[in-house]
Structure formats: structure tokens, C-alpha cells
Structure 1
């Protein structure tokens, strides 16, 4: 493991292999399945927020008005983001004890608490379950992304990383289809109960998964190296020392940009659509909420498939900056133009833009693993992808306050375009790794 003052390890030679062996296929399938079910469970909360709080707010002595529902939805998102931020612990678990046990633990956590949320009898119970579910959800991206990077051949790594990341949106798309087909009959509680079943299936599939060979070799090397650092948080200390310190903080800043805009803007689409449909006197708000989520999610999946090709051709920085630009345009159009005018068709147009821009997260799945060696890879991945949620939680609380103060969803949500505009210039905080192989 590298220590302060040492140079970052040189990348290994490219692997000419372009086929997955049995071990690699199992690892990739497990990572994809877990990340898909993670997206399934997370998206349930986005879709059921409005009907759930409409039912639960009277129990807390609150009127189920548009403003109160919007405020509690954002407050709930802050609870979720805080839990996600604290899920950093899965990174050191994966680097110390293995990728496989860390994945199984994270799946159990988010699946159980998603199902428990279906039994909520108050808004605070629902938000508490969201918090604990996020403790599991937050670890899944870092572990799955690390596993795919380490388990697949070098020439397939970027492509498989993009495919893997799209899995979370496939899970979201599945939720939208379920909600569209049986959402009214199941109700928001029934959808939350469904969140337990697919995660348990993925848990069963992962019982046959082995650790990536690269990780096993690194563990043996660390164990026999004289003077090697020990201790549960040793990887974190290395991540925050030279030569990795600057890039680690830079990645964290960029993830703050991504998460603030995602949670404050695009995932609020179903709730915004419900309000527009009600204002228009329509009785198909559940169908429209599902459709807007489906459209945005389908575009994000396509964007994730394109990200490996874009990053390999134009570089990680340029690709991320371009996707940040799409997010800024989508947010301003959806919440600064379409929503105030209650223009449902126009909102769908900008949902497409938001969908493609949302693929910015897939850039990190490709980019983060190739910045760090195996001994600290999961911890570094988790550092950026989980702790960024704590800063985003503060921003989300400010948005909730803005909704309450202005009496509207429009302005507070439109302002979430600002971090993305800043992010276009902040991408230079992290080194470009285009064309480099995964460090050992």
C-alpha cells in the first residue's frame, strides 16, 4: 500500500483478453444484479413520496397540501442522503474483509429497511426507514463498481463499467413499469414491500461469487509486505495522504455536484408531475408520474451505454463537463419553464434532457477505479460516492426551506442548476486518466 510521499503506482500493461471467464461472469452478474435491485428500491421511494406523505401527514398533525408534501419529500431526501453519506463504512469493509461480504451486507441492509418502510404509520417512521435503507444503498455503488473494474479484462473495463452502471436505471425502469401497471392497486405500501424480494434473490445469486483475483493477489502482497499498514481505517489514511489526497477531495467535490442536482432536481420529477396533473384537473397523475420517470430513466440507460465510448474518445473530464451542461439545461427547462407554466408536454421534453444528463454518474464508475491501487480502491470509491451525500443533504434541506418560504417548487428546484454550471469548470480538479490501465 502506498504511503505519504510515494509516487502513485504505475498502471499495469493492457490485457488483450476480451472474454470473461466463469469467475468474471459471476462477479459481473452479481454486481449488475445488486446495482439493479439497488436502483429498484431507491426508485420506489421517489415514486411513492407524494401519495405516502399525503396519507401520513395528517397523522403528524400536518395538512397534506402541495407545499407540505414538497417540504417533507425534500426532508425525506435529506434523511436518505445522510444515511448514504454514513454508508462510507462499506469501503473499508470491502478493502479489509473482501468485496463479497461487503456486498451481501449492503444488500441485506437496504432490502430489509425498504420493506419496513411499507409499514410506516407516520412520516417520521418512513424517513427513519429511508435513512437506514440508505446505509445499505450507499455502499452498493462503490463495491459493485470496484468488483467490475477488478474482475473483467482490461480492454472490456470501461464498457462493462458503463453497462454495470446502467443496471441501477434498469431497476428504476422496472419500478416505473410496475407502478404504471399495478401502482393504483398495490398502493405505496405494496410497492415498498416488493423492495425486499428482488434484493433477496440477488443475495442468493451472490453466494456463489468469488473475490476478484486482483483483490486476492493484493491481499497476499499486503500481508507479506514489511512495514505494511494495518488497521481497519488504514485505507482511509492512505486515500487522504499524498499522492492521492488532492484527487480524493476533487472527486468528492464533483460527486457533491452530481448528487445535489440529481436528488433536488431530476428525482423530483414524479412529484412535480403529480402536482401539474392535479392542477390541470386530470385523474391520471399516477400514470403520468410513472411515464415521466420511465422516459427519463430510459434516456439515462442509453446515456450510460454511451459513456464508455465518450470517455475513451473525448476523455473523462470533457465527457463529465458535457453531461453537467445537459443537467443544467434540463433542470432550468423543467423547473424554471415547464413547471411554472404547468406545461406537461414541455416537462416531458426536458425530462429527456435530464435523463441523458443523469448518465454523468456512469463517468465516475469508469473514472474512480483507475485512479487508485487495489488495496484502497473500494475505500476511495466509497469516500467520494458516499460522503458527498452529506453535503448534498444540507443542500436538500435548504431546498426544502426554499419550497416552504416561497410557496412553490419552481425556484428552489431551478436553482439546483447552479452546481452543475460550476461543475463544468471544476472537472479539472481530478487528473485525466484516458488511455490508462487499472493500477495494481
Structure 2
């Protein structure tokens, strides 16, 4: 009788508890990724006022066309800096995740703060370029660290939690712009980007290196990790991941970077004063960020249920529809502000597709080359994204409109749907050693 009762007793599966080092490591990585997102989006929010002041000091008139073109060029340089961040991956595979992660945070914090001292567009371009090198390395190292340090039964949700940090940074940047930016200007906004130095110090002093890296380091015979991920064993998955990440990056920056400018234009068209239009753009950015956080949290359970490839396909379709709906349709309505902001929620939710790469990329490569692979794939996408952003700026200048050029980036996600079948499905597999 007792046996039959025992047999019917439901078995409750308990998740592996996190130790203090794993918790501290996650929050260090999350805070760095949050401040990374804040730093990235500060530029989009202060683009117009910063260039309006600096262009005349550099010998150029601050016309809307010149502001748009200079903004695109500077942002392209910023993305090139992101692209060069692949240097952090081999360093992390050689010297450890936490030390190099702290180095990336320190780099982008210092040079973001220095951007506040810019006297002309050339100085601003140099500071943003070097900050981009630091910012670009943070995601690869944070994603690698969390994947390796968290228990197998928790690391998938850990990837989703980690990715929320970047969009929490968007929300933080919007909140700072709503308060500090409106009252104290663009230089004060850049100064807030120096705060992550504290996080870098804490990461370096308080967070223990992942056991997986330490074990791999002990048994690894030194070889070039970059050569290995481009060799016969990993070549296909490396290039497929590069293409998919490129598409995601193009879509993210087309939608997110031009969103504040689009909202300001629509708000001004609706009769709002300048400060009210800026505040509306900040609120819209906050909504976009909240929606993206929700998308990041919804993604890991979906990926566990239906697989990585089907999940990415759903998110890519959602991004394509949302970009066309917002920039291709709502932007041109007579009273398009409210519909455009409504579409931003959809755009934000499916922009959470980046959480999949934090989960999926570490599953495709062994520990000894994981950080290099993550950094290389993300850097490749940023190089291409820099070129696309430059072309996008030229198209905006040529067509005298923001909506259509951005809406056309939805085509990239259609290409992505054709590439997804070539990627490996890792659902149900443990993180390779």
C-alpha cells in the first residue's frame, strides 16, 4: 500500500542552486551588459544636439542633411570599432573570461566619458570608435562567462536574463535623457557613461573564473583558436552564425537607432514643442526596451520547446513585419505618432532574438575556442552593419525621408529565413567541453 502511494507521489524537479560566485558573476556580467546598452543608445539619443553644436566648430553648417550624414558616418565608425572587438575573444580564451571582461567595460566607460569633452566632430569620432571596441567585446565575454559558469539546467534561462541587461540599458539611457539630457545637455549624458568603471573593478576583484575555462586551460595545447573556428570542423557553423548575427544586427540598429529621430519627427509634426518631442522619444524608447526585455524572457522556454531554429524563424518574421509596419506604414500616416509607438512594442518584443544567440552560440563551440567564436561572429556582423548603416544614411539623404530606407531592411530577415536551415540544431544538448 505504501509503495503504491509512493509511486503516485509527483516528483518535483529542483533546479541546481547557484553559489555566491555564480550569482556575483552573473550580476557583474549583467550590469556590464546593461551599461553597454545604455552607452550604445546614448549616442542615438544625443546625436542631433551633439552634432548641431560640433559641426559648426568643425567647419560645416549644422543643416539637417549634414547632421544626418555626419551622424551616419560617426555611427559607422562606432560599428567598425565594435567589429574590431574580435581581439577580445582570443585574449579571453588565453587569459580567462573575467579579467578580459573587466577590460572591455573599462575601455568603453573611459572613452564614453571622454566624449563629453569633444571640441569637434573628429574628437567625438575617435572617442566613439575606441568606446565601440570595448562595447563590442562585452557581449561575447559576458555570454560566454554565464554559459560556462551556470549549471546546465539553468544556463538557458541565464542567457535570456543576461540579454535583458542590454535593453534595460536602453531604458536607463531613455530615463537619463528624460531627466539629465533635457536639462543638462548631451555632454552630461556622455559623462554618465563613465560610471561602468566601478563595475569593471568589481568584476575583476569579486568574480571567480569559470571552472570550465580553468579545466580547458589546464589541458589545452596552445593553438590559434581563430584558425580552428575557420577550419574544416567549425567552418560551416561559424559562417552561418556570422550571417544570422549580421541580419539581427542590421535589423536592431535600423529600428532602434532611428527610432528616436522618427518619434521626434512625428511628435514635431503633431505640433509638440522641442522638449516635449524629446521626452516623447524617451518614453517611446522605454516602451521599446520593456517590450524587448519581455521578448528576451519569452525566448529561452520557446527555444527549449520547439528548438533554436524554429524560434529564430518566428522572431525574424516578427521583426520583418514590425519594421515594415512601423517605418513603412505608420511613419507616413497623417497622425502616425500613436500607431508608430504601438508598432514599436512589436518591434521591441521580436528584437529579443538576440537572447537566442547568447544561448545558442556557446552550444556550438568547445570551451577552448568559445569566446573567440562568439567574438568573431558578432564582430563580423558589426562590420557589415557599419557598411549598411552608411548606405542607410546615404539613402535617407538621397530620398529625403527616414521611413522607406529603414523599412527596406526588413528584406534582410527574409534572407535570414533561407539561411536558418543550414545552422545546427542544439536543442537538448549539453554545453560542449
TM-score (norm 2): 0.93
Whole-angstrom CA distance in 1 between matches of 2:128 and 2:141: 20
Decide which of 39, 45, 48 is 2:46's aligned counterpart. 48
Distance 1:254 1:377 in 2: 17
Cα distance, 1:71 vs structure 2: 2.2
1:149 counterpart residue number: 147
- What is the aligned partner in structure 1 of residue 289 from structure 2? 297
User: Which of 413, 420, 430 does residue 420 from structure 1 map onto?
Assistant: 413
- What residue is the counterpart of 2:232 in the other structure? 242
- Counterpart of 1:219? 217
Aligned to 2:300: 308
Q: 2:255 aligns with which of 250, 257, 265?
A: 265
Deviation at 1:410, TM superposition (A): 1.9
Return 5+ residue gaps in structure 1 as ranges. 1-14, 223-227
Shift of 1:16: 7.9
- Return the alpha-carbon distance in structure 2 between the equivalents of residues 323 and 92 of structure 1: 31
How far apart are residue 144 of structure 1 and its match? 0.2
| TM-aligned CA distance change 1:334 to 1:63, over 3 Å | farther
CA distance in 2, matches of 1:248, 1:352: 32
- Higher alpha-carbon deviation: 111-120 or 150-159: 111-120
Q: Does residue 419 of structure 2 align to residue 429 of structure 1?
A: no
Larger CA deviation: 27-36 vs 80-89: 27-36
What does residue 79 of structure 1 align with?
A: 77
Unpaired runs of 5+ in structure 2?
1-12
* CA distance in 1: counterparts of 2:155 and 2:108, whole angstroms: 27
Q: C-alpha separation between the residues in 2 aligned to 1:84 and 1:18?
A: 35
Contact 1:82 1:389 in 2 (8 A): yes
Which range moves more in the overlay, 398-407 or 118-127? Answer: 118-127
Q: Supply the distance in 1 between the matched residues of 2:121 and 2:343 (Cα, whole angstroms).
A: 31
Task: State yes or no: 1:364 paired with 2:364.
Answer: no
Which residue pairs with 1:192 in the alignment? Answer: 190
Shift of residue 183 of structure 1? 2.2
Structure 1 runs, 4 residues or longer, greater than 6 Å off: none
Q: Deviations over 1:414-440 (max 9, x none)?
A: 111110121122112210101110001
Deviation of 1:407 after TM superposition, in Å, equals 1.5
Output the CA distance in 1 between the equivalents of 2:47 and 2:61: 15
Q: Distance in 1 between matches of 2:83 and 2:356?
A: 20
In the alignment, the residues of structure 1 paired with residue 65 and residue 309 of structure 2 have an alpha-carbon distance, to the nearest angstrom, of 38
1:383 aligns with 376
- Cα distance in 2 for partners of 1:354, 1:360 equals 11
Q: What is the CA–CA distance in structure 2 between the aligned matches of 1:338 and 1:61, rounded to whole Å? A: 37
Distance 1:212 1:144, change over 3 A: same
In structure 2, C-alpha distance between the alignment counterparts of 1:45 and 1:229, rounded to whole Å: 40
Change (3 A) 1:193 1:361: same
Query: Aligned-pair distance for 1:126?
Result: 1.8
Displacement of 1:17 in angstroms is 5.5
* 1:402 correspondence with 2:402: no
Higher alpha-carbon deviation: 182-191 or 333-342:
333-342
1:119 paired with 2:117, answer yes
Query: d(CA) in 2 for partners of 1:16 and 1:138?
Result: 36
The Cα offsets for residues 310-337 of structure 1, whole Å up to 9 and x where unpaired, read as 1101111111111111111111122111
Picking from 282, 306, 311, the partner of 1:319 is: 311
1:17-55 CA-partner distances (Å, limit 9, x unpaired): 521112212221211111111112111111111221222
Farther-moved stretch of structure 1 (298-307 vs 280-289):
280-289
Aligned length: 417
Distance 1:219 1:16, change over 3 A: farther
Q: Secondary structure at the match of 2:332?
A: coil
Indicate the SS of the match to 2:153: helix
- Equivalent residues of 2:102, 2:201 under 8 A apart: no
Of 190, 201, 205, which residue of structure 1 is paired with 2:202?
A: 205
Structure 1, residues 52-104: CA drift from partner, whole Å, max 9, x if none? 12222222343333333222222222111111001100000000111112111
Task: Kindly provide the CA deviation profile for residues 120-168 of structure 1, in whole angstroms up to 9, marking residues without a partner as x.
Answer: 2222322222111010000000000000000000000100110011111
Cα distance in 1, alignment partners of residues 432 and 362 from structure 2: 8
Cα pair distance change 1:23/1:216, threshold 3 Å: same
State yes or no: 1:255 paired with 2:245: yes
CA distance in 2, matches of 1:321, 1:273: 28
Is the 1:16–1:154 Cα contact (8 Å) retained in structure 2? Answer: no
Contact 1:104 / 1:203 at 8 angstroms: preserved in 2? yes
Indicate the larger mover: 141-150 or 171-180: 171-180
Distance in 2 of aligned mates of 1:241 and 1:402: 38
